[in-house]
Amino acid sequence: MKKIIVVIAAMVIMATVFVGCQTESQKVSYNLSQEADNFNVIRQLTVINCIEGDVLFQMTGKMSITADAADNQLEVIVEDENGYYQKHFVGLSDNVTYVVEQLGIKNVSKYKYTLNYNPKMWIPVDVKTID
C-alpha cells in the first residue's frame, strides 16, 4: 500500500514539474490555438504558388486548420454565420505553400482556460425516484 502511495505522489510531482516548464509564449500559443479550434477567432488562409507567386486560394472566417502530413493536405473546417460547418481540403505540393493569419486581436490569458462541451454528445439520463 505504501508503494502505491509513493508511486502516485511521484507521478503528481513529475506532472507538476512538467507543467511548470512551459514558457509564457507556449501557454499563450496553446490558448490561441484552442480559441481558433473552437471557432472563436477569424483567420485568413492564403494558398500560394511559389513558382509563379500567384495566390491560388484564399478563405477568411472562423476556421480550424489541421495540416495532414500523411495526405499532404490541409483540412479546414469552417463555421458559417448560421452555425453550420463545412470541411474543405487543400492539397499541398513542393511548389505550393500557405499562410494562416489571425485577423483582429484575441485577448487570451496564460492563466485562464475554457472547457467547451458539445451538448449533442451528452447521453440523456432519466432519473427515477421511489416515493
Judge whether 33 and 106 are in contact, CB under 8 Å: no
What is the length of the chain? 131
Q: What is the pLDDT of residues 7-37, one digit of tens each?
A: 566 666 665 555 556 777 888 888 888 888 8
Domain regions of the chain by residue span: 2-106
Burial of 108 (0-12, 13-18, 19+ CB in 10 A): buried
List, in sequence order, every beta strand (DSSP E) within the chain. 42-49, 54-68, 73-79, 85-91, 96-103
Would the pLDDT of 100 be above 80? Answer: yes
Predicted confidence at residue 122, as pLDDT, reads: 54
Predicted confidence at residue 75, as pLDDT, reads: 93
Q: Which has more confidence, 124 or 71?
A: 71
